[in-house]
Amino acid sequence: QVQLVESGGGSVRTGGSLRLSCVASGRTRSIGDMAWYRQAPEKQRELVGTITSGGTTNYADFMKDRFTISRDRNTMYLQLNNLKPGDTAVYYCHAKVQPTIEYSFDVWGQGTQVTVSS
C-alpha cells in the first residue's frame, strides 16, 4: 500500500554535493516518521537522520553539519554537501506506515548509490 523510490545518487568528487529524493506513493496519508539510512560496502546500515510527520529533524552528530533532511507531503529529500569518500554508500529511504492504530510496519526504498571519489 506504500512504495518508496529513491533517486538522485551518482558519482561526485570530494567536496561535491548531491540531492537525493524519496518519492512515496500509495496510501501516503498513513506515513508517519521517515528516515534516511546508508550502508557502505561491508559495513552495517546506519541511520543518517529522521524527520517526523511534523517536520522535526534529527541527525547523527557526525552528519548534521553537512546533511539536511526535508519533506513535503509525498517526498523526502536529503541534501548532501561537502561530500567525502567516507560518504560512499547506498542510501535508503525508510518510512513508518501506520494504517491503523493497532498496526504499523516499515517500508524501504530500493536504495540509490552515492560514490565520492578523491
Q: Is the pLDDT of residue 64 over 80?
A: no
Phi and psi of 86, rounded to 5°?
-65, -10
Q: How confident is the model at residue 23 (pLDDT cuts 50, 70, 90)?
A: very high
| Grid coordinates given for 89 | 554508500
Rounded distance between C-alpha atoms, residue 107 and residue 76, angstroms: 14
Q: What pLDDT shows up at residue 62?
A: 73
Integer Rg of the chain from CA: 14
| 67 and 82 Cβ atoms separated by less than 8 Å | no
pLDDT more than 70, % of the chain: 100
What is the average per-residue pLDDT within 9-24?
98
